Amino acid sequence: MKVLVIGGGGREHALCAAIRRSPRVSEVVCAPGNGGIAQVARCVKASQKDLGDLLRVVAEEQADLTVVGPELPLALGLVDEMLRRGLKVFGPTRDAAMLETSKGFAKRFMQRHSIPTANYAVCGSRTEALAALELFHHPVVIKADGLQAGKGVLICETKDEAERAVTGLFSGELLGTAETNVVVEEFLKGEELSFLALSDGKHATPLLPAQDHKRIGEGDTGPNTGGMGVYTADTLLDPKMSEWILHHIVQKAIDGMAAEETPFVGVLYCGLMMTAKGPMVLEFNARFGDPETQAILPRLESDLVEALEACVQGRLSETEFRWKPGASACVVAASQGYPGSYTVGYPITGLDDAAKVPAVEVFHAGTTWDGATYRTAGGRVLGVTATGATLGEALGSAYPAMERISFEGMVYRRDIGRRTRV
Ligand code: AMP
Ligand code: GLY
């Protein structure tokens, strides 16, 4: 069968590599893909921001299954259009993706279905938000309602800071566009955990839990990024806690979406804070995490395509998952300046040497191939991933592999996987 993957980052590289391992797959196409993805899939030009262009690729390729990586095509309604045309597609409809695309919707949904989350107020004006601030202790969290690629969350230590954040979001000064809704939220303390589950709209099956490292700097300092590294380990989460999260968070969300007639088919990513009072949802995403997917899929031994197809066909409960025991780690190499502005086009050396380290896979997040050399083409450039019997072993392969790679201004965190308990 032929599988089409939409997207062009490290997540899509990991997806394409896992899809290609399926004995049922004869061809993998990625739109638009990137320099590294071209090693495992045929890449075709496409604009991820343009629904018409994505539908053109879909019509041209006639794939047996399409897998949507990023959130933007979901928000544009790519899945809705494909379903209308009777095509097989893995990912939620635009309404189901609102769990990610509107923080206000997600918070109200959690409240309706008694899913544990931080106390909050959704505010439609600056005046309303300033009044709501009186009800919260500091630090307080201020969030823009819509998709902001991790940039719309502000943790404010003082009242002054919070007032400035609210004013800046509503005026458009902070993010470039004026927000119509802002969420004011209680600050939660604890370790963060990414808990992803596949769903066919009714049933849910968890993937391996992972811990992301969102800040740019070592010791969790500096601005938030899309994720600078992530690990999985059999010791990361107690099986009883995993069951609790599956039943009290994931299954409740899937049941709630079905009851509201927007069944969720795809991967539900729960960004959790493991607080003293138990796990609480910080955010939902309606897609695979990045870099989480780069650490999770190398440990999947069973057939990913079989699982994705089971979701689309409503028979996930019959599907078995087998995981390689142990651990995995993915360390991200980024361009100097990320998550702010950065320069692209620098040649990357050492990729072949890095791939020779046993148990290592190098996923490309932002690269191009000019026929002779790979060059940097994004903020996050590479995800160097390794598996191992223990987290220490995985890190002991990922870091030496990373040291073989270099490009101008290469930045990576040396402390991925140091905090090993949630
Ligand atoms: P979000 O996009 O909602 O996941 O937020 C991005 C990051 O901000 C999260 O990964 C957390 O590190 C932090 N964050 C968001 N909400 C809260 C909260 N209520 N309490 C503490 N930290 C938060
Ligand atoms: N790693 C965070 C995300 O995918 O949203």
- Average pLDDT by stretches of 10, the chain with 422 residues: 98 98 98 98 96 98 98 97 97 98 92 95 92 92 78 87 92 82 93 97 98 94 92 96 98 98 98 96 97 98 98 95 98 96 97 97 97 97 98 97 98 89 46
Residues 309, 361 within the same domain: no
Residues 213, 295 within the same domain: yes
Residues 165, 266 within the same domain: no
Residues with CB under 6 A from ligand 2: 212, 226-227, 285, 289-290, 292
Residues 310, 349 within the same domain: no
Query: What pTM was computed for the model?
Result: 0.94
Atom of ligand 2 nearest to the CA of 212: 1
- Give the pLDDT confidence of 134-173 residue by residue, as tens digits: 999 989 999 888 776 666 788 999 999 999 999 999 988 8
Residues 136, 205 within the same domain: no
- Indicate the number of domains in the chain: 4
pLDDT of residue 418: 85
pLDDT of residue 330: 98
CATH number of the domain encompassing residue 396? 3.90.600.10
Residue to substitute in 148, 153, 191, 292 for testing ligand 1 pocket (most ligand atoms within 8 angstroms of CB) = 153
Residues 298, 220 within the same domain: yes
**62 dihedral zone (left: phi>0; alpha: psi -120 to 50; beta):** left
Residues 211, 250 within the same domain: yes
pLDDT of residue 153: 85
pLDDT of residue 422: 44
Q: Where are the alpha helices (DSSP H) in 31-158?
A: 51-61, 71-76, 78-84, 98-101, 103-112, 126-133
CA angle 375, 38, 225 (to 5 degrees): 55
Integer Cα distance of 67 and 308 in angstroms: 8
Atom of ligand 2 nearest to the CA of 11: 4
Which pair of tokens denotes residue 23?
Answer: 């004995």
| Domain boundary residue, one of 268, 296, 318 | 318
| Domain boundary residue, one of 147, 180, 213 | 180
Residues 275, 239 within the same domain: yes
CATH number of the domain encompassing residue 156? 3.30.1490.20
Contact 403, 46 (CB under 8 A): no
Residues 210, 257 within the same domain: yes
Ligand 2 mean position to 225 CA, how many Å?
9
Q: Does any domain span residue 115?
A: no
CATH number of the domain encompassing residue 16? 3.40.50.20
| Domain boundary residue, one of 75, 93, 111 | 93
pLDDT of residue 420: 53
Q: Does any domain span residue 72?
A: yes
Q: Does any domain span residue 120?
A: no
Residues 314, 397 within the same domain: no
Q: Does any domain span residue 210?
A: yes
Of all ligands present, the nearest one to the C-alpha of 290 is: 2
Q: Does any domain span residue 409?
A: no
Structural domain harbouring 133: 125-180
DSSP E strands in 227-308: the ranges are: 229-233, 265-275, 278-285
Beta bridge partners of 285: 269
Residues 167, 197 within the same domain: no
Q: Does any domain span residue 420?
A: no
Q: Does any domain span residue 114?
A: no
Residues 225, 308 within the same domain: yes
Q: Does any domain span residue 107?
A: no
